[in-house]
Structure 1
Amino acid sequence: MNRILFCCTADNDLLRALTTDDHRPLRYEEPAAALDAAAAGDTVLVLADGYPERRTAFPAELITVAAERQVSVLVEYPAELPGLDAEPETATLERLVITDPRLGPELGLLAVHACRYLPTRQPDTLLWLARVAGFDTAVYGLPETAWSALYRLPDAPVLVATTQLSRFGRGRYEPQSAWIALWQGILRVLQPTVEPPAMIIPGAVSPRFGRDDVLPADAAAAAVTAYQDWLRRAGLLLDQDQERAVRELMITGEAVQRDRLPAGTGDGSHGVAEGFESTIQPDGSQRIRLPLRADCIAETAMVLALDDRGSDGPRTARNLIDYLRGPSGLCGGERSDPARPSYGLIGWGVGTPAWEIANYGDDNARVILAWLLADATLAVPDGHRELISAITANFRTTGRTGFRGDRIDQPQLAEHGWQHYFDGSLINPSAHFEAYLWACYQWAYAATGYRPFLDRTRTALITMMERFPGGWRRNDVTELARILLPLAWQLRVEPSDRFRGWLSDVIDALLSRQDASGGIGEVEAGGIDLFQVARSNEEYGTTEEPIIFATGDPASDQLYSSGFALLGLYEAAGVLDDHRVTDAADRLADYLIRIQLRSDRPELDGSWFRSFDFRRWAYWGSSGDAGWGAWCLELGWAPAWGVTALALRDRGSTLWDELAKVRPDPAEAQDVINSMIPVTVGTE
């Protein structure tokens, strides 16, 4: 009987995966001892105990010993073999690419994240490490810059892995099913006549429920509280020392290991860090993204304000809003000076000039809506003047057509003045950048009666929908999800059959992408200058791009799409007498509940990764986005709005109903508007 002998520590992931109550593989401390114990036909696996700091000792003379004893060998991350003279490097965007059919599909992809590897190119290579475009297949083939990840030594029964392939558990390699197939394939290469044993990989993370599990009656409430608890446990709420460190570290980079920040726990008074980057380190950790972003701060406050368990959530929410308004600086400087054209706007983030100069309309919109909901939930009696100022500041940089554009930076606004934009005729058919500002204007019209809020929003929505379905900058799921909110709210402020029909058309388009699992699959719809798939291997990872490569790749996007779709569907259900919409929203809600992260790692448990493959039922996707890849965890954005939609559904309410509780003083609101847009300025 051919055996597999191990030379590794007892906690090696592969050893544990092949160990059962009925079978405990032989394990040795030294390669020579394992080879000495092996018989002809056996396999010795010399695994990288010292990885990533120390390479594996495997003297070249042991190759001869293995050949003489007719023993096959796999050695990981070796120190002394010919052709491995270069120093180890760290992978960034590279993935494993299969070129041997025994290991998996031709040009199939696997993630080893930020692995350390030995750069070499060998002729008999079974598995490559390369920067390639594609969802689960290297669609443009193997580039010339690929490195051997697993190769066979010439004239010897030895396979060499240039990284630690056996670290699939601790390193959180994905997808798990493909890693099982890969290792069974490697064992077949080593022992061609033996069927490899079954393997179980205990992952560090998993979906909270299976695809077909019956959900508990309280599953939605549990998902909401799990996310609220994650916000507290993840280590992203900053105290004073941590905020100071974040501002200092931002000068040299936007992501750091957790130990670069002082120990401590914040209460919202010093903001929150942005989240965790997508890249997974060899120890399974993810670096903290540092920027102090207005949207992340406000949307975190919104979710914590909804925590009605008697916790410190509401107090932390209030602290976050107060931090946003004051000490953060996001509303300070020129943005707090009524004489400046940027008065009332909210900065993108703080830490470096690149963050501080930007005024994104969508970021402002989500801050405003989240701030409104936090105030409504906490029954805050004041602060409404600031919100009216923020809405008016965005409105007076919105053109006659109702479009504002992606962003207006401080220097351009100072140069041109706000009226240049207010009198403009820009057309920017992008719901991602424009739609939630329209929702702000609809709320503001209902709250103040200021007619131009409604008129310009109506004009913009008509322009958008007359161009539907093929005339938007992007025609993808995110765009469909984002425009649902203002279309639904238009029926609140100005009901009409025309807009009711348009809302139904968008819902039809969105639900055509809904999988039986409840998830909404992304589509690759082309587009102009943003969120394009890579057109070559070299382009992969150089800009923001989707988590899929082509329509039909079975992935949903939890950062940009799913939560916004859930919110929009429930808001639409509030104005449409259509059970189909409610049923679809409920299926999407159940899907998000199922795929919420479960993990022993507190910085992961209770949140959502950006990408989920609903065919594999695993966290997988194309991770070429520059900054927000498949495994990123972002405070705010779609996860926060999805949780909010779940919480409001359980309360039998909608976002519109909740925001109606915020009642600014009409006279004060009109004074703010008149001071920022004098009545002498035309609005038509």
Structure 2
Amino acid sequence: MNGYYLQMFRPRAKNDIVKFLPENVTFMNCSAIDQTLLEQAYQGQARLVLECPASVDGVEMGKTIYADSFKARSVVASDFFGAELPVGRILAQHNFALREISTPVKAHLAAARVAGYRDACFGLQDAQQQPILFEHPQCSNILISTTPLSSFITSRFAPCCDWQNLMGSLISWLAGGTPVKIEYQQTVRPAYQAGETMPADAEEQAFNKNAEWFYREMVYNAHGITGVFEGYSSLVDVTGRQSIMPALRGDCLGECSAVGALDYALHNEPAGRDMAEGLIRTLFDTSKVRDVCPASQTYGSIFFDAESRSIYGDDNSRAALGAVLSEDLLDDPKHARQVLEMGYSLLRTTGPNGLREPSLLQPESFQGYLEAYEYLPNRTWQHYAKKNYPKCHPHYQAWHWAFNLELYALSGDKRFRDSAVAALEEANKLFPDFYWQNGATGDWARVLLPYAMLVEVEDTPEHREWLDRAATYFIDRMNEYGIVPEVMGKRELGHYPAPESNADYGVAECTLIQFNGDPACDLLYSLNYAFAGMHEAYMATGNERYKAACDKMADFFCRVQADSQEQPYLHGAWLHGFDYQLWEFFSSASDSGWGPWCVETGWTNSWIATTFALRKLNRPLLSRKGAEVYSKLAPAIAEEMFRPQLPSITVRGTRTEINTTGFSSFAQG
């Protein structure tokens, strides 16, 4: 029995299948099907795989579509591939192209919108699907693939073990049953395997590679403005490439500045100083992301990005913490005024219980509205200062508490301390059952930093007890790899839980898992913040148990840093999702915006790299340098920021309209 693999299109990606074909299987790139081969297949003398044919007699093919257009993944649809790949096994083929097929066929592989981690937990029956590898309806010796399979290595199909089995089974079928073993190295892979010996300076190497990645790939200068890209989208194209996310985000500007400043502090690297100073200038000295209108209710805060109208407390706080650390390291607190204005802007829109609303939107959060047939007037910041937000949600709030404690340490203004303590008292009552975002692990991780900073600024037995409760809870859940797996909390408290049906898959942001116990860990929402928080806990207390936990996390982050010569723009970065059993970048990809292969400069890479460097310097994140500058400026700035204002709304921070009637009309100011 001879086999023939016919690639019937002009490929954009490298052909990976040829090197695995046995002698009796021939690879051909052709635009038309050889009739002789068809006759042999019909007569049982040959087996064919037709990859992406333009047309096939007996099969009605429609238009080309992309899997992401209906949130599809590849799913095993028959027992063709054996026990290792049961029906319902999910395979990540990323955003692959396929053809619509209207002819009834026997599918072995389907593109289907299904929920699940590695298996379709709700089955295939109600799933939106299209066959992508199927038998010709008139000849079982002919298989038709409507999507490129031959580039499975270059295109970064995942998980690796399942694609090894699938392609091995397919080639074995072509060869008449001859076993075929597929082994290869992934083009984007972890730097070290789980049990591999690492060099003694692995942490320093990891930081250096990440800093170089920032300089090489992420930081740019356009028309005199220094910026940093958000990162890379999770979607992978047929060439294995991911698209850049070009948004200029305020949080990324401040967070990433710290990486440059730390590289300068450690290695006297001029590029690091330039990066830090340039990003902070863009953050604070321009209106790219900052609300610069003194009459605005959100004056001094930063918007989500250069196009957004949303102001998140956690984004502002992380940007500020990165910037404060940078100016500490550069010994120049030149933006103390802007940092204080941001701090007071957040503080005055936070209620007495210290829990700030996740986001305020300009202008909607300050416009009047109709409620129960009564028109409520336009609002000022005082509305939010008096209002207790009822949800304790550390994802959005915890690092704001930390920022408040940083500003208390720098300025001495007890309002920052009191707001943070009020929030941490509430968190302590509810722990561990917070409102959670993409997973409860992330919210447990985020409270570590403010609890640690509270001990640093006000070391009492009670505050140490609060910190130890949170740290111990986290440490007790660490596995042998030094990480806490992603888990969901109580479903009724979850913001983005796992999909409850196939139709729910891919419709919103989402956790990386389907069920608790799925072996995924999260480097975007969870472990990155745990690493920073646990380091701070050790610096605050000297507790060796905290250091041991931090050491384990450091070991893990060294191992899972991306290594790639084939996709060099990822080399030295950390990605969002990681499966610690498969030991590769993989998880459920239901998150519609930031899936497992996405790369975030600010949230992920900056804080992992920053924590490595802080460990090297043996210093905390909390900064005290420049306190004389902050404490001198704070009283006058506070007086300005807490002065009563007329209602006003801001249009992207550059124009403010001031209410002149106390009701619903505004005049430009």
TM-score, normalised to structure 1's length? 0.86
Cα RMSD after superposing both structures: 2.3
Q: Verify: 1:445 aligned to 2:411, yes or no.
A: no
Q: Verify: 1:302 aligned to 2:258, yes or no.
A: yes
2:319 corresponding residue in structure 1: 367
Q: Verify: 1:231 aligned to 2:231, yes or no.
A: no
Q: Choose which of 190, 195, 199 in structure 2 pairs with 1:216.
A: 199
Residue deviations 1:463-513 (CA, integer Å, cap 9, x gap): 111011225345711001100011111112222333322222222322233
Q: Which amino acid aligns with 1:654?
A: P
CA distance in 1, matches of 2:109, 2:390: 49
Q: Which amino acid aligns with 1:178?
A: D
CA contact (8 A) 1:150 1:159 kept: yes
Q: Verify: 1:672 aligned to 2:637, yes or no.
A: yes
CA contact (8 A) 1:45 1:74 kept: no
2:541 corresponding residue in structure 1: 576
1:128 corresponding residue in structure 2: 110
1:99 corresponding residue in structure 2: 77
Q: Which amino acid aligns with 2:582?
A: R
Q: Which amino acid aligns with 1:269?
A: I
2:228 corresponding residue in structure 1: 272
Counterpart secondary structure, 1:416: coil
1:431 corresponding residue in structure 2: 394
Note closer, same or farther for the CA distance 1:480–1:663 as it changes in structure 2 (3 Å cut). farther
CA distance in 2, matches of 1:473, 1:648: 28
Counterpart secondary structure, 2:537: helix
CA contact (8 A) 2:257 2:326 kept: yes
Q: Choose which of 619, 643, 646 in structure 1 pairs with 2:612.
A: 646
Q: Which amino acid aligns with 2:261?
A: A
CA distance in 1, matches of 2:160, 2:513: 19
2:53 corresponding residue in structure 1: 78
CA distance in 2, matches of 1:493, 1:679: 30
Q: Which amino acid aligns with 1:185?
A: S
Q: Which amino acid aligns with 1:169?
A: I
Instruction: Kindly state the Cα deviation for residue 290 of structure 1 after the two structures are TM-superposed.
Output: 2.2
CA contact (8 A) 1:77 1:161 kept: yes
CA distance in 2, matches of 1:311, 1:450: 35
CA contact (8 A) 1:273 1:289 kept: yes
CA contact (8 A) 1:43 1:72 kept: no
CA contact (8 A) 1:398 1:421 kept: yes
Counterpart secondary structure, 1:655: coil
Counterpart secondary structure, 2:50: strand
1:262 corresponding residue in structure 2: none
Note closer, same or farther for the CA distance 1:679–1:520 as it changes in structure 2 (3 Å cut). same
Matched-pair identity in %: 29
The answer for unaligned runs of 5 or more in structure 1 is 20-24, 27-41, 51-55, 242-267
CA distance in 2, matches of 1:661, 1:217: 35
Instruction: Kindly state the Cα deviation for residue 96 of structure 1 after the two structures are TM-superposed.
Output: 0.8
CA contact (8 A) 2:75 2:112 kept: yes
Q: Choose which of 369, 382, 391 in structure 2 pairs with 1:419.
A: 382
Q: Verify: 1:505 aligned to 2:469, yes or no.
A: yes
Q: Choose which of 543, 547, 557 in structure 2 pairs with 1:592.
A: 557
Note closer, same or farther for the CA distance 1:663–1:603 as it changes in structure 2 (3 Å cut). farther
Q: Choose which of 515, 521, 526 in structure 2 pairs with 1:556.
A: 521
2:279 corresponding residue in structure 1: 320
Output aligned runs, 1:612-627, within 5 Å.
612-627=578-593
Q: Which has the higher contact order (CA 8 A, sep 6+)?
A: 2
* More divergent stretch after superposition (128-137 vs 497-506): 497-506
Residue deviations 1:303-343 (CA, integer Å, cap 9, x gap): 11111332412112101111122335212xxx223232211
Residue deviations 1:574-617 (CA, integer Å, cap 9, x gap): 22343222111111111011000001122110001100101011
1:250 corresponding residue in structure 2: none
Instruction: Kindly state the Cα deviation for residue 59 of structure 1 after the two structures are TM-superposed.
Output: 5.4
CA contact (8 A) 1:114 1:280 kept: yes
* More divergent stretch after superposition (593-602 vs 337-346): 337-346
Counterpart secondary structure, 1:88: strand
Instruction: Kindly state the Cα deviation for residue 534 of structure 1 after the two structures are TM-superposed.
Output: 1.0
Q: Which amino acid aligns with 1:338?
A: P
Note closer, same or farther for the CA distance 1:58–1:663 as it changes in structure 2 (3 Å cut). farther
2:167 corresponding residue in structure 1: 183
* More divergent stretch after superposition (272-281 vs 520-529): 520-529
Instruction: Kindly state the Cα deviation for residue 529 of structure 1 after the two structures are TM-superposed.
Output: 5.8
CA contact (8 A) 1:269 1:316 kept: no
CA distance in 1, matches of 2:92, 2:627: 47
Counterpart secondary structure, 2:569: coil
CA contact (8 A) 1:271 1:324 kept: no
Q: Verify: 1:12 aligned to 2:15, yes or no.
A: yes
Counterpart secondary structure, 2:243: strand
TM-score, normalised to structure 2's length? 0.87
CA contact (8 A) 1:43 1:71 kept: no
The structure whose residues are more often strand, as a share, is 2
Residue deviations 1:201-246 (CA, integer Å, cap 9, x gap): 2322111011111111111011011111111222x333326xxxxx
Q: Verify: 1:169 aligned to 2:153, yes or no.
A: yes
Q: Verify: 1:151 aligned to 2:134, yes or no.
A: yes
Residue deviations 1:393-446 (CA, integer Å, cap 9, x gap): 100101011111100112123631111111112122111100111111111112
CA distance in 1, matches of 2:467, 2:194: 30
Query: How many residue pairs get matched?
Result: 615
CA contact (8 A) 1:58 1:79 kept: no
CA distance in 1, matches of 2:382, 2:644: 13
1:139 corresponding residue in structure 2: 121
Instruction: Kindly state the Cα deviation for residue 462 of structure 1 after the two structures are TM-superposed.
Output: 0.8
CA distance in 1, matches of 2:487, 2:581: 15
Instruction: Kindly state the Cα deviation for residue 66 of structure 1 after the two structures are TM-superposed.
Output: 2.1
Moved over 6 A (4+): none
The answer for unaligned runs of 5 or more in structure 2 is 368-377, 646-669
2:362 corresponding residue in structure 1: 410
Q: Which amino acid aligns with 2:332?
A: V
* More divergent stretch after superposition (2-11 vs 492-501): 2-11
CA contact (8 A) 1:569 1:581 kept: yes
